[in-house]
């Protein structure tokens, strides 16, 4: 059946647009489109219609496990890893599946319809891998889940990790992951990057590595990742995630590194909510922000996305699958406050993330998949400012979720009854 959404705004600033869906794809976008027969017509209310949110970096195997078996007291990455290590032997496949499915419900309600999730392979049972493969199948009709084989305890540091990682790929995990900064030495980290990139080249897979997730200004694994990408001809298929040490690097070295990353067509994923809480924990004052150099990477032509990374798990005690919250934190931490920069923050949780995942048919053009979210906002920056309500979430032309407009009713003398949260006409 066809669907016509009348009177919406688009992220590129067009207003008064109708969007026609036929056979699960966008058939046309324009003003005052004619409705075909048997067409469901919806009023877009002059709100912003965006392609769905995409999370380029998440850990679905750990999500919603907050407090199991205890809470991270120090708030550090290392205590989080230790805590996850305590929880791992107690995991059951059913519990991981149940928590992951629950999170995917949250995601759909928030208009988040594609997630790249790392999955820990440092467990001979591959329990989390089996669980998330099951979840990937179960959510396939409504959410794209891409899995990254992630050796959480270190590829070389954890016995059997390389074999387990290969077994995970054999089972159908999509992307090669890594964690070079968690190996025993800088040399071992570089060796892990080499091995993993060679594995990806052999198998024709993408790479997404946790890289230099520390405050160490001398951490050099992004450099190795860029080098191996070029050496093996993996340009355009490799992503460096976190890259927090870049925040602390010497400016001269960073300028050389960013050029090398651009030359290698590396993509970058920052995880603002997690980076701002986990990093800088060894500092007194001033405390470093610990997020990678998003404006500088973007200026060099590098694709940058923002990920949620964690929700209610050993590393982070908050979160609700809200990629607008992620974009807002990224905007603040990177001081991306110009109008253009705020739009880049919106792109970081939509189009840029979709490109990093390599999603087919993503976007708002005729011929694209009819996947979109109607936001109670007039522009992308207003959506970020208001953490806008997701009025309608649609995938392949099917409505997956609806939400009423969020509104406050006042009882004030001489003032309007309803609060209007919009401001000006930003487009």
H helices then E strands: how many in the chain? 14, 16
Strand partners, 418: 409
β-pairing, 267-270 vs 304-306, is parallel
Residue ranges in 232-338 assigned as alpha helix (H): 245-248, 251-263, 272-278, 294-299, 323-333
Q: Of 183, 213, 223, 382, which residue is the catalytic one? A: 213
- Minimum CB distance to Fe ion smaller for 18 or for 309: 309
Count the residues of the shown chain that bind Fe ion, applying the rule CB under 5 A: 1
Shortest Cβ contact with Fe ion: which residue? 309
CB of 135 to Fe ion, least distance (A): 18
User: Cβ–Cβ contacts within 10 Å for residue 256, how many?
Assistant: 13
Taking the complex as a whole, how short is the minimal distance between the CB of residue 59 and Fe ion, in angstroms? 6
Minimum CB–partner distance for residue 192 and Fe ion (Å) = 16
CA angle 134/99/63 to nearest 5° reads 105
Please tell me whether the peptide bond between 190 and the residue prior to it is cis, using omega within 30 degrees of 0: no
Nearer to Fe ion, 74 or 337 (CB): 74
Minimal distance, residue 310 CB to Fe ion, in Å: 7
Write the binding mask 259 to 298 for Fe ion: x where contact by CB under 5 A, - elsewhere: ----------------------------------------
Residues in the chain: 427
Specify the residue, 63 or 376, whose C-beta has the smaller distance to Fe ion: 63
- Supply the minimum distance, in Å, between the C-beta of residue 5 and Fe ion: 35
Specify the 3-state DSSP secondary structure of 385: helix
CA atoms of 28 and 366, how far apart (whole Å): 5
Name which of 209 and 328 has its Cβ closer to Fe ion.
209
Output the smallest distance, CB 210 to Fe ion, in A. Answer: 5
CA distances from 376 to 83, 209, 290, 382, 409 (A): 39, 35, 32, 9, 17
Nearer to Fe ion, 53 or 142 (CB): 53
Nearer to Fe ion, 48 or 119 (CB): 119
Q: What minimum distance in Å lies between the beta carbon of 97 and Fe ion? A: 20
Strand 53-58 versus strand 112-120 pairing type: parallel
Toward Fe ion, which CB reaches closer, 241 or 350?
241
Phi, then psi, of 278 in degrees rounded to 5: -85, -35
Place of tokens 């150099």: 293
Task: Write out the two tokens for 402.
Answer: 């609806």
Q: How far apart are CA 358 and CA 15, in angstroms?
A: 28
- Cβ proximity of 312 and 319 under 8 Å: yes
> What is the Rg, in whole angstroms, of the alpha carbon atoms belonging to the chain?
22
If 0-12 CB within 10 Å is exposed, 13-18 middle and 19+ buried, where does residue 294 land? buried
Diameter over CA atoms, the chain: 71
Query: Least distance (Å) from Fe ion to the CB of residue 411?
Result: 46
The CA distance from 133 to 151, in Å, is 17
Among positions 298-327, residues that touch Fe ion (CB under 5 A) are: 309
Cβ closest to Fe ion, residue 18 vs residue 61: 61
Residue 360: active-site member? no
Rule CB under 5 A: which of 29-68 touch Fe ion? Answer: none
- Summarize as ranges the residues that interact with Fe ion (CB under 5 A): 309
Catalytic residues: 213
């Amino acid at each position: 059946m066809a669907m016509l959404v009348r009177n919406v705004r688009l992220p590129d600033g067009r207003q008064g647009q109708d969007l026609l869906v036929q056979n699960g794809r966008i058939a046309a976008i324009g003003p005052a489109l004619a409705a075909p027969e048997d067409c469901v017509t919806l009023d877009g209310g002059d709100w912003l219609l965006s392609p769905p949110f995409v999370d380029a970096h998440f850990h679905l195997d750990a999500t919603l496990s907050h407090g199991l078996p205890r809470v991270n007291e120090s708030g550090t990455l290392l205590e989080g890893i230790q805590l996850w290590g305590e929880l791992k032997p107690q995991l059951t496949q059913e519990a991981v599946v149940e928590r992951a499915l629950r999170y995917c419900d949250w995601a759909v309600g928030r208009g988040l319809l594609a997630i790249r999730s790392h999955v820990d392979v440092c467990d001979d049972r591959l329990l989390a891998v089996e669980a998330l493969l099951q979840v990937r199948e179960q959510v396939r009709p409504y959410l794209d889940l891409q899995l990254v084989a992630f050796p959480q305890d270190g590829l070389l540091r954890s016995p059997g990790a390389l074999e387990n990682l290969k077994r995970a790929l054999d089972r159908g995990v999509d992307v090669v992951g890594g964690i070079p900064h968690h190996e025993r030495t800088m040399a071992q980290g570089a060796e892990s990057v080499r091995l993993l990139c060679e594995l990806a080249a052999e198998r024709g897979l993408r790479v997404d590595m946790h890289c230099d997730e520390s405050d160490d200004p001398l951490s050099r694994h992004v450099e190795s990742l860029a080098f191996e990408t070029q050496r093996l001809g993996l340009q355009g298929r490799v992503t460096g995630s976190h890259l927090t040490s870049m925040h602390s690097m010497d400016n001269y070295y960073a300028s050389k590194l960013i050029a090398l990353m651009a030359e290698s067509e590396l993509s970058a994923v920052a995880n603002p909510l997690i980076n701002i809480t986990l990093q800088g924990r060894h500092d007194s004052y001033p405390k470093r922000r610990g997020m990678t150099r998003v404006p500088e990477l973007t200026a060099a032509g590098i694709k940058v996305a923002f990920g949620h990374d964690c929700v209610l798990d050993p590393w982070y005690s908050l979160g609700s699958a809200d990629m607008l919250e992620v974009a807002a934190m990224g905007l603040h931490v990177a001081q991306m406050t110009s109008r253009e920069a705020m739009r880049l923050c919106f792109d970081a949780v939509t189009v840029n993330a979709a490109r990093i995942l390599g999603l087919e048919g993503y976007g708002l053009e005729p011929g694209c998949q009819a996947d979109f979210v109607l936001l109670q906002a007039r522009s992308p920056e207003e959506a970020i400012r208001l953490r806008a309500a997701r009025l309608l979430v649609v995938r392949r032309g099917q409505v997956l979720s609806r939400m009423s407009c969020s509104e406050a009713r006042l009882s004030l003398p001489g003032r309007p009854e309803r609060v209007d949260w919009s401001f000006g006409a930003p487009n």
